[in-house]
Amino acid sequence: MHQPSRQGYVSINCRQGSGSYNKGKQSRKQSCWRKWKQLSRLQRSIILFILVLMFICLIASYPTEHFKDGDQDTDSNSILKPFPPEPMKQGQPPLPEQPSQRKLSNKRGPPVLNRLQNKGNTDTSDVEKATDSSKKKEEDQGIISWHGAVIDTDRGTEGTKDGGNKEQSPTGQKAKDPEAVRLVAVQEAFRHAWKGYKDFAWGHDELRPISKSYSEWFGLGLTLIDALDTMWILNLKEEFEEAKAWVATELTFNKNVDVNLFETTIRILGGLLSTYHLTGETLFLDKANDIGSRLMPAFNTPSKIPYSDVNIGKGTAHPPHWTSDSTVAEVTSIQLEFRELSRLTQEPLYQDAVAEIMKQVHKLDGKLDGLVPMFINTNNGQFTHQGIYTLGARADSYYEYLLKQWIQGGKKEDQLLEDYLQAIEGIKKNLLQKSSPNGLTFVGEVSHGQFSPKMDHLVCFLPGTLALGSYNGLPSDHMDLARQLMETCYQMYVQMETGLSPEIVYFNMHQDSTRDTDVKLADRHNLLRPETVESLFYLYRFTKDHKYQDWGWEILQNFNRYSKVSSGGYTSINNVRDPDYPSPRDKMDSFFLGETLKYFYLLFSDDPNFISLDQFVFNTEAHPLPIWPSAV
């Protein structure tokens, strides 16, 4: 019904009763236009303002609604082959649907392509090529990744249209059975990452795949060394040989450069030691010995708690400029490597130096039921910044190395075991909670007596460590907890629109919460981290439950969709909640090759003796080191 127009009153109803409604479209248009003209300028402005506001609201709510309504979106459905849903267990609360069960946007040429072109920070012709080919191929086959690569839905990786997988599996089978298909997919992912590194970052620390350049951290070929044993394990002989040639001819540690003790130990010393064990080639032991001895000045401190930084050329060491503290996780997660170096070289000084740290930390005050603070002072050897307890950054691998040293040494070092068992009880008592509405078990943090439901993706190493402990004879309830936390870590991927986990998740605990997880704007990035895949590997090894392999397979495909760069390499992304514009960060950390892809491969292998967990213990950078023979 028509509302009379008067000053200060706005009508947007153009109908003039049932009579006028029957006069047809033309008369209705004219009538509307007349009414519009009759309005005052103020009234028109208000109407326009309301319309603009409605438009903005519509745009802002678009992605959520789009996913909600996905069931009706038959177009997008046709370009996506969802995974079969996990069968629900009795008594298990229903979990949110998986991203692969949702219907993804069927828009062509995702916005990221245009934005990248405009920014000019990538090879335009490459992006154009990708866009063009994606338009065609999207119509007649698989899924399109944001960088334009075509995902073969049968294999979950880039492939040719005829789908012919000419690759042989590592065991020589044609890649037809699921195990071989997945193993080949990881080999392909590695080759793709390696191509980027080789083309644009060869001999440098890290690839920047979008800008087709590199970044330097220590200037030691970090990615190449971190990836050595991965190539060996993945049976990539050609790639391994070219990397080995670089180590033999180019790698020198006689450099005036400051390196971080922890990172150099876990990635370089650990990588060289494990490659030596796998290949038996003394080149790698010699290099390990060289870098190990150059790191020793870090231990020359008043407390014998090492400094964070060492100049490996000058033989000097120092803490960061702003503090005399070191990080607890850093000083307590170098033991596996230095102990092994001592065993191989028969030189006890390495082992003595790192054992001293464990001895001191064992005795320190300031723990909460076995949980440690994040910092320790290199002058007085005391914990600092006390009162904050986390299983995430700066504390994580302390717990991991308590267990793993005990295993490495043949389960004889009782003090390590005691500290580990006490810490797990401390976690249960102080940090474990359940989320709402689905009751996911998660590990939060405590800050000065206050619980925070914040969980770093880094914490997802814990299910694997708990499972490893249980496999080695520790209480079976550790395994129960491992299973629960594994589910939670998987949900940290599943509940995101890209199916990739953010760096940090906040769990909801209020009864009336509608979703389990929240992610802050600043925490939406994914750095290609390994922890969840690592834990999936342990859980699958010990349970043989194929769901863990299937979860890993989903994650690998999502890396291929959102992180793979067409010209080579994978990139970390800024926003796991925006599948249309995940926003590449232009960095591939060395741990993607050193850890993430290696754990994928081991997860998909059905051979329990392939890098047997009765013979090897993985360092915190996924480098397998031998469990010591009992005679030693």
Catalytic residue among 205, 239, 263, 586: 263
Burial class (CB in 10 A: 0-12, 13-18, 19+), 476: exposed
3-state secondary structure 452-467: ECEEEHHHHHHHHHHH
Amino acid at 474: L
Q: Does 605 bind ligand DMJ (CB under 6 A)?
A: no
Contact track, ligand DMJ, 12-31, x by CB under 6 A? --------------------
DSSP 108-153: SS-HHHHHHHHHT-S-HHHHHHHHHHHHHHHHHSSEE-TTSPEEET
By CB under 6 A, residue 377 contacts ligand DMJ: no
Q: Residue 373: is it exposed, middle or buried by C-beta count within 10 angstroms (0-12/13-18/19+)?
A: buried
Tell me how far, at minimum, the Cβ of 263 lies from ligand DMJ, in Å: 7
The amino acid sitting at 517 is: T
Of all residues in this chain, which one has the CB nearest to ligand DMJ in the complex? 620
Verify binding: residue 271, ligand DMJ, rule CB under 6 A: no
How far apart are CB 563 and ligand DMJ at their closest, in Å? 15
**Which residue in the set 122, 489, 621, 624 belongs to the binding site for ligand DMJ (CB under 6 A)?**
621
Q: CB of 442: closest distance to ligand DMJ in angstroms?
A: 18
Burial string for 448-471 (b: 16+ CB within 10 Å, else e) reads: eeeeebbbbbbbbbbbbbbbbbbb
Residue 260 in the binding site for ligand DMJ (CB under 6 A): no
Question: Are 497 and 63 a contacting pair, CB within 8 Å?
Answer: yes
How far apart are alpha carbons 222 and 200 in whole angstroms? 14
Residue 172 C-beta: closest distance to ligand DMJ, Å: 32
Q: At what angle do helices 597-604 and 546-562 cross, to 10 degrees?
A: 140
* 369 has catalytic annotation: no
Long-range contacts at 59-67 (CB < 8 A, ≥ 24 apart) = 63/497, 63/578, 63/580, 66/105, 67/102, 67/103, 67/497
Nearer to ligand DMJ, 397 or 435 (CB): 397
503 binds ligand DMJ (CB under 6 A): no
**Interaction mask 379-398, ligand DMJ, x per CB under 6 A:** ------------------x-
Length of the chain: 632
According to DSSP, the β-strands at 258-260 and 309-311 are antiparallel
DSSP 150-214: EEETTTTEE--TT----PBPTTS-BTTSHHHHHHHHHHHHHHHHHHHHHHH-TTSSEEETTTTEE
Contact flag: residue 530 with ligand DMJ (CB under 6 A): yes
Per rule CB under 6 A, is residue 620 in the interface with ligand DMJ? yes
What's the CA gap between 264 and 334, in Å, rounded? 9
CB-based burial label for 69 (10 Å; 0-12, 13-18, 19+): exposed
Q: SS3 for 216?
A: coil
Counting contacts by CB under 6 A, is residue 401 touching ligand DMJ?
no
Considering the rule CB under 6 A, would residue 591 count as an interface residue with ligand DMJ?
A: yes
Active site residue 263: yes
Q: Which is nearer to ligand DMJ, 487 or 621 (CB)?
A: 621
Per-residue mark of binding to ligand DMJ, 457-476 (x: CB under 6 A)? -x------------------
Residue showing tokens 């939406």 = 524
**How far apart, in whole angstroms, are the C-alpha atoms of residue 622 and residue 602?**
11
Residue 45 φ then ψ, to 5°? -60, -40
- Please report how close the Cβ of residue 267 comes to ligand DMJ at its closest, in angstroms: 7
| Peptide bond preceding 437 in cis form (omega within 30 of 0) | yes
Give me the catalytic one of 188, 340, 531, 578.
531
Closest approach, Cβ 124 to ligand DMJ, in A, equals 33
109 binds ligand DMJ (CB under 6 A): no
Of 212 and 587, the one with the shorter C-beta distance to ligand DMJ is 587
Minimum CB separation from ligand DMJ for residue 265, in Å?
11
Catalytic: which of 503, 534, 586, 595? 503
Q: Would you say 458 or 494 has its CB closer to ligand DMJ?
A: 458
Q: Which of residues 317-336 bind ligand DMJ (CB under 6 A)?
A: none
Is 97 an active-site residue? no
CB atoms within 10 A of CB 104: 23
How many residues lie near ligand DMJ (CB under 6 A)? 8
Q: Is 529 in the site for ligand DMJ (CB under 6 A)?
A: yes
CB of 253 to ligand DMJ, least distance (A): 20
Check 206, 309, 396, 586 and give the catalytic one.
Answer: 396
Minimum separation from the CB atom of position 620 to ligand DMJ (A): 4
Residues that bind ligand DMJ (CB under 6 A): 397, 458, 529-530, 591, 595, 620-621
Catalytic residue annotation: 263, 396, 503, 531
